[in-house]
Structure 1
Amino acid sequence: MVQAATKPVIGVIGGSGVYEIEALTNKRWQRVESGFGEPSDDFLFGQFEDIEMVFLPRHGRGHRIPPSEINYRANIDALKRAGVTEIISVSACGSFEEKLSPGTFVIVDQFIDQTIARHKSFFGSGLVAHVSMARPVCSRLGDALENAARNLGIPVSRGGTYLAMEGPQFSSLAESELYRSWGCQVIGMTNMPEAKLAREAEICYGAVAMVTDYDCWHSDHEAVEVSAILQVLMQNADGARELVKAVAPILGKRMTSCSAGCHHALDNALITAPDARDPALVQKLKAVAGRVL
């Protein structure tokens, strides 16, 4: 397992439409085992320039797994075991604001978690821990993603609240209007509990939400054909791959632990006394929390 202060290993979790990164060299698909079950798919290991990268298709190749059935704990645990130190998450989303039109990339900085059927923590009975989610994403990654997107000419908005819904159905109109009244910018189904688990695993997490539509609140929404949404999805996927290639060399320059503190998120987080900890759970958390255990 790569320590946080060593050379970065960039992990990419690809959402709808992003199932591979073609630009990698020395590519190999390889299974990574996890004590939390099966990850979504094999991992694609490779290099971009001199940067080590690991790619995971969130829904599996061929988009086999719906949002509620993704094993988020296995995905993050396995990425940690693979040596990943920073994660770039890319996912499709709906927009709650007119200005965030289809094709816009939103660099998310906050979440409201409305999911109800997912395991949201690595910790539990026998080893209790509480991490801060006040700033749920890595600001350093956010800066790099924003700058890279602007340099590429991708329409980008920095900052925004992502409403994570359970799905797989989309929102009702009443729900859509409620979330807009809460001040949310985008809606999706996959960034929670992914961001929470990345924080517990002390991995930097940056979220790029790629707008495909206006959810169902917009007066023109019903006039938009599925084919148009799919076209935007594919264009977004192309932009996401270019963004990953542009940002990887920037993130690869990190020489010390994350300046935003992500690599030390478990400092003072463990509550259970050492002599009261469940040995089996401690062993299971060897990758996620080994630094503090």
Structure 2
Amino acid sequence: MTIGVIGGSGIYEALPLENVRHEHVSTPYGEPSDAVTMGDLAGREVAFLPRHGEDHRHPPTDASYQANIYALKSVGVDRVISTNAVGSLREDLPPRTLVVPDQIFDRTKHRSPTFFGDGMVVHMGFANPYCPSLASHLVDSAREATDADTNVAADGTYVCIEGPQFSTKAESEFYREQGWDIIGMTAIPEAKLAREAELSYATIAGVTDYDVWKSDSEVSLEEVRENATANRGSINAVVEHAIRTMPDDFESEAWTALEGTINTPPEAIPEETRERIDLLAGDYFE
């Protein structure tokens, strides 16, 4: 198995990888955010990509989502552990809580959500945006790898906003009224693209703030950085434990997600498009 990890550079630096090498991958969707760092951990191959690039250079809207997922697929990844910093929309999910969400609500506006198009129509099922098998494994890992003082929450809805600005108070109150749980800027289109690439995908999110709904606590970059740093050790421990204990008999419905979803007859798809998506969907044209 090859396990992909998407997150900040602090995760890669904390993983005790052996046989480390760097793969510079070119994709039909541009350059990934950085080289793919490959290494071995507990008999598993790991491929790491920093979502925002070195020194956090790419803002949420402009991150190389398509190229990142394509690059991980091209080096043999079949499951992806994503890490996110998020705000909390609930009193009982205070900063430094770890959350493994099971749902997403998409509030983004300016991001390409698909690998396809250009003469090829794919209607991908996305009712359960996170792979239940991988999410369950992350929940177990979070409870086993952290101390008793770490609050771990299973399930919940991640509302993904465009950014890079934080919410208005009206927006934050609206999201709370919907019963949503955490808020961030990077789940979409990453989760959608992972599904199109038939990758098992789930997230471990670290709460850094209460967004702007709480009268005595309004989010600031200083608070986000402070709590993200505090969360780093717990998230690193969860990711490492999840890799070490990944079941050998792991199965995911995401691995066949494209079955029955390609609405355009193969002979009608332009050759250029077929070449571009061959890595992703070529098996379905044979």
Shorter chain as denominator, the TM-score bin is over 0.9
Residues 197-219 of structure 1 show CA distances to partners (whole Å, capped at 9, x for unaligned) of 00000000011121000000012
> Any gaps of 5 or more consecutive residues in structure 2?
none
User: What's the counterpart of residue 231 of structure 1?
Assistant: 226
Count of residues paired in the alignment: 282
Alpha-carbon distance between aligned partners in 1 of 2:199 and 2:220, rounded to the nearest angstrom: 38
User: What's the counterpart of residue 6 of structure 2?
Assistant: 13
User: What's the counterpart of residue 58 of structure 2?
Assistant: 65
User: What's the counterpart of residue 164 of structure 2?
Assistant: 168
Do structure 1's residue 281 and structure 2's residue 273 form an aligned pair?
A: yes
Which one of 178, 183, 193 corresponds to residue 179 of structure 2?
Answer: 183
Does the aligned pair in 2 maintain the 1:20–1:57 contact within 8 Å?
no
Q: What TM-score do the two structures reach when normalised by structure 1?
A: 0.92
Deviation at 1:287, TM superposition (A): 1.4
Identify if the C-alpha distance between structure 1 residues 126 and 212 changes in structure 2 by more than 3 Å, giving closer, same or farther: same
The alignment-based identity, stated in percent, is 43
Does the aligned pair in 2 maintain the 1:9–1:252 contact within 8 Å?
no
* Secondary structure at the counterpart of residue 114 of structure 2: coil
Deviation at 1:10, TM superposition (A): 0.4
Alpha-carbon distance between aligned partners in 1 of 2:104 and 2:268, rounded to the nearest angstrom: 33
Alpha-carbon distance between aligned partners in 2 of 1:210 and 1:280, rounded to the nearest angstrom: 41
Does the aligned pair in 2 maintain the 1:109–1:137 contact within 8 Å?
yes
Does the aligned pair in 2 maintain the 1:95–1:213 contact within 8 Å?
yes
* Secondary structure at the counterpart of residue 292 of structure 1: helix
Alpha-carbon distance between aligned partners in 1 of 2:32 and 2:56, rounded to the nearest angstrom: 14
* Secondary structure at the counterpart of residue 217 of structure 1: coil
Question: Residues 241-256 of structure 1 correspond to what in structure 2 (within 5 A)?
Answer: 241-254=236-249
Residues 165-208 of structure 1 show CA distances to partners (whole Å, capped at 9, x for unaligned) of 00000000000001111111000000101000000000000111
Question: Residues 263-274 of structure 1 correspond to what in structure 2 (within 5 A)?
Answer: 263-274=255-266
Alpha-carbon distance between aligned partners in 2 of 1:254 and 1:238, rounded to the nearest angstrom: 28
Alpha-carbon distance between aligned partners in 2 of 1:210 and 1:129, rounded to the nearest angstrom: 33
Alpha-carbon distance between aligned partners in 2 of 1:254 and 1:9, rounded to the nearest angstrom: 14
Alpha-carbon distance between aligned partners in 1 of 2:52 and 2:221, rounded to the nearest angstrom: 20
Do structure 1's residue 155 and structure 2's residue 125 form an aligned pair?
A: no
Please tell me the residue identity of whatever aligns with 1:38: E
User: What's the counterpart of residue 217 of structure 2?
Assistant: 221
Identify if the C-alpha distance between structure 1 residues 210 and 74 changes in structure 2 by more than 3 Å, giving closer, same or farther: same
Does the aligned pair in 2 maintain the 1:148–1:246 contact within 8 Å?
yes
Does the aligned pair in 2 maintain the 1:13–1:56 contact within 8 Å?
yes
Question: Residues 89-168 of structure 1 correspond to what in structure 2 (within 5 A)?
Answer: 89-152=82-145, 153=147, 154-168=150-164
User: What's the counterpart of residue 195 of structure 2?
Assistant: 199
Q: What TM-score do the two structures reach when normalised by structure 2?
A: 0.94
Does the aligned pair in 2 maintain the 1:141–1:205 contact within 8 Å?
yes
- What is the root-mean-square deviation in Å for CA atoms of aligned residues? 1.6
> Any gaps of 5 or more consecutive residues in structure 1?
1-7
Please tell me the residue identity of whatever aligns with 2:217: H
Misfit runs of 4+, over 6 Å: none
Does the aligned pair in 2 maintain the 1:35–1:284 contact within 8 Å?
yes
Deviation at 1:229, TM superposition (A): 3.5
Does the aligned pair in 1 maintain the 2:2–2:47 contact within 8 Å?
yes
